[in-house]
Amino acid sequence: MLQARYIQHNLIFRQAAGTSRGVLTTKESWILILYNSENPDVFGLGECSLIPRLSPDPFIGYEQELNKLCQNIQDHEKWTVQQGKSFPSIRFGLETALLDLKKGGRRTLFSNKFSAGERGIPINGLVWMGSPDFMKKQIIEKIEAGFNCIKIKVGAINFEEEISLLAFIRKQFSAGEISIRLDANGAFGPSDVFEKLKQLSAFKIHSIEQPVKQGQYELMARVCAESEIPIALDEELISISGAENKTKLLQEIKPDYIILKPSLLGGMRESDEWIKIAEKHQIGWWNTSALESNIGLNAIAQWTAEKSPEMPQGLGTGQLYTNNIVSPLTISSGNLFYDHTKTWELKQLLK
């Protein structure tokens, strides 16, 4: 008989992570554990975690809902239909844990060249908001570590200082050598977005995520139509469900790319539907983690590898925490690998 329990494992950042929504020092996370009562030593793991002011899940009552799911795990399909849309991160954790258990509880959710340790996934190097010197230091470290795609958070410090950082990169590296992605997290407004995009375009930017806040469809459609920089939707996808609504959104806004975060969108199957619709409309995409621990990151990476991506993915968040779960995931020369010479260390977590 299928059984379930969970443990809370709050993640602690190595250094404060600055975003346009504020500074993060910790991240709430719960690990869902599924097993059959006849063989409890074989178990599947799934991560349910929240990002303040971004995750659509209700914070109040979140753990109570997770507990209710565990108590009634035999009816998990019914829960997914009735409650899953309101708790996308729990839905992602449930989907992951079920798949892990089905595959033998070995954290190999998909059998592909990545999970076999034969091929890496190209990823972008993430640069967090902070002082100009701090951001410059990160940029140098990422380039020296072998990343040829850098993602820079913008919108929190002085815009002229952000321009200076981009000029610093382009003075040393052409667009052919280093690709620059920007993430504004909705920081620009109707009065300044077009002028700022115009100034940013001088630095041959690959794309910019969510230049204005989600929900402003007419403005975002105009931005996509007029911007010299390709536009990627991120937060805009959150809480949009059903193929018809997803199609309508992409047809109205016409972005160049969409960015998929399974724990914010309700899981891998929901994200697969976004990809199918995007490709039908000639819209590019890439996948990214939403600050999960290595449990969630591993699931997203193996799912991503099924699609043999050539474009760098946003899967470089595994080194952010002091208390991350030790795993075979490693980063080398701008690629994420599953290193079979390393093992999962779960005893401390599951004690």
Q: Where are the domains of the chain?
A: 2-102, 121-350
The structure tokens 């016409």 sit at: 254
Q: Which pair of structure tokens corresponds to residue 108? A: 């190999």
Length of the chain: 351
CATH class of 121-350: alpha beta
Q: What pLDDT is recorded for position 18?
A: 67
Q: Which of 153, 196, 248, 307 is catalytic?
A: 153
pTM score: 0.95
Clarify whether 103 is annotated catalytic.
no
Give the angle 181-187-188 at the CA atoms, nearest 5°.
Answer: 95
Q: What pLDDT is recorded for position 351?
A: 67
Helix (H) or strand (E) holding 14: strand 11-19
Clarify whether 153 is annotated catalytic.
yes
Spatial separation of the C-alpha atoms in residues 79 and 196, rounded to whole Å: 45
Q: What is the 3-state secondary structure (H, E, C) of 69-107?
A: HHHCHHHHHHHHHHCCCCCHHHHHHHHHHHHHHHCCCCC
333: left (phi over 0), alpha (psi -120 to 50) or beta: left
Q: Which pair of structure tokens corresponds to residue 199? A: 């100034």
Spatial separation of the C-alpha atoms in residues 94 and 351, rounded to whole Å: 21
Q: Which of 261, 280, 347, 351 is catalytic?
A: 261
Q: What pLDDT is recorded for position 20?
A: 57
Q: Which pair of structure tokens corresponds to residue 36? A: 């059959």
Query: For domain 2-102, is the CATH number 2.40.100.10?
Result: no
Mean pLDDT by 10 residues, the chain (351 residues): 96 79 85 95 96 90 97 96 94 98 97 97 90 88 94 85 93 94 93 96 97 96 98 96 97 98 97 98 96 96 96 88 95 96 88 67
Strand, coil or helix: what is 124? coil
